[in-house]
Homo-oligomer: A and B are copies of this chain.
């Protein structure tokens, strides 16, 4: 893509709207990045080693990319999924060979933009150009200016949140903070809350051992609270929960205690474990009310759809599939108890677009505690962002949202993802102005708030 095309990337065709979108976008194009939810490994920044080869960097660790190559018939093993590729150049050639299959995809947009903006490469990826591009990237990767910390600066990242195990000591985060990088941990307790997850018992016992609490429900809750406290002390602003269903239930103490005991004794039914999950979701809200951590909720994903792929390549390898989700009834017990409590923040994400206008915007348009999570995962792409804005704004406006969340493991893709979101929002706002719905001055304020005031407020930054 030429630079002249790149300048209006993602802006609508109509000349007046396009020009206005560009004018709305200009003041935020280089605004600092606030990234309050994502999956970058903090060691990347702490160790500040040069990045690996191009394939490890852009393919192996990005399940958006490996999944579509897999769908095209490529073996995940040849891409280095679950580790570095045995032969990075071959993996890169596989991407080049199948590159036409990424046309129109979010991954395709990100990679093309990374090549253009970070590596200065605008030649189309293709079998004939694969090696040339690979070599040019390799050379650039050796440049000290391309080390993680240098890029952190160059990317203007102001806040970067990671996602961490409750038992993580968080020393890396503390050290980075001491060195002036605002890298914040996020409490991610799923594996300790879901009795159906692998090694649940061992995890719980490790949690209890490490915190020194008794092996009963009260001790378990105190242990979780302690670890949340450690996260708060280490700069965390949020706790993130991933569940299949956003169902919540308030149990009385004795009931919860008995349930917990049956589960640890290995005598629970599937229904009981489901109820336990629903109660622990409720407990996470209770703890957020106490310790102030923003609660983010990522429901509606059926994880590890292909057992054979899980066995061969591990989790997070591209076969997590969204399912039908609904929030209104499931979240009600939680919101009945905590929805009106001042200071409680619950940010709701979805991979089921039907919930935007039907449930999420109506909930966030009433409860001061509920915030609309930015488009997530499969929906983190230009058209999907446009559908999101159109679906939620007429009910809830722009100020009940979370601001953009990149949710990425791919450190290099952070700027292009935020750039995409900012452009999509500028395009949306430009249309509203051109159609006489929003005044230009309002749109200008909203545009800057979307990248700064809004995520700061939602995430208590």
Contact = CB atoms under 8 A, between A and B. Distances in A.
Contacts of A397: 68, 101-105, 108
Nearest to A367: B71
A438 B353 contact: no
Given A13-B17, A13-B434, A362-B378, 7 more contacts: A103-B438, A104-B432, A323-B358, A323-B359, A324-B324, A324-B354, A387-B390
Please name the 5 residue pairs, one residue from A and one from B, whose CB atoms are nearest each other, closest first.
A381-B394, A9-B436, A13-B14, A104-B393, A321-B328
A259 interface: no
Nearest to A429: B104
Nearest to A390: B383
A322 interface: yes
A306 interface: yes
A363 B71 CA distance: 9
B354 A328 contact: no
Given A105-B396, A395-B106, A396-B68, A328 B302 contact: yes
Contacts of A67: 365-366
A384 B35 CA distance: 31
Q: What is the total number of copies of this protein in its complex?
A: 3
A379 interface: yes
B73 A368 contact: yes
Interface in A26-72: 67-68, 70-72
A81 to B, nearest CB: 12
A431 interface: yes
A361 B378 contact: yes
A208 interface: no
B362 A322 contact: yes
Interface in A1-24: 1, 5-6, 8-14, 16-17
A123 B111 CA distance: 46
